Amino acid sequence: MATTSCQSQTPETVKYVDLEKYSGVWYEIAAFPTRFEKGCSNTTAEYQISEKGHVIVINRCSRNNKRTSIKGKAFVVKNSGNARLKVQFFWPFRGDYWIFELADDYSVAAVGSPGRKYLWILARTSKIDEKVYQEFTSRMEKKGFDINLLQTTEHQEN
């Protein structure tokens, strides 16, 4: 019963995100499977604040022994404390990018969509402590995400 009531409510985001601190490279630690990341490893997301005020998004991954990337833009949703963004890779389509959990030192984040279709656990390093991973996945489970869908992302050290 608790899961049902939890899923009927929109999951809460963090109260505020300092986009300057959030900028930079994030490694995908785990994610719900998506068709656009199928067969990917070494997956990263890079965020840069543009002069025009939006966020430049560059997603990269290795697939079939090739490094691929896609560039997009993210726009902050007003009155969201910078925790809710709309990401656009192909005009005119925009998707939700909500920051649900964020470590105080901006080392780990849990981001996804309010409908719980997407979830990513991101970190500033390609590996995180198992205890930290369990803390973040537990918090997301309490927000109604099916953490059994999470698949860990492989990263090869160069």
Residues 92-151: tens digit of each pLDDT: 778 999 999 999 999 999 999 999 999 999 999 999 999 999 999 999 999 999 999 999
Q: What is the residue extent of each domain of the chain? A: 12-134
Please, what CATH class does the domain formed by 12-134 belong to? Answer: mainly beta
pTM: 0.91
Chain centroid to Cα 14, Å, comes to: 13
| CB neighbour burial string for 5-14, b if at least 16 within 10 angstroms, e if fewer | eeeeeebebb
Secondary structure class of 35 (helix, strand, coil): helix
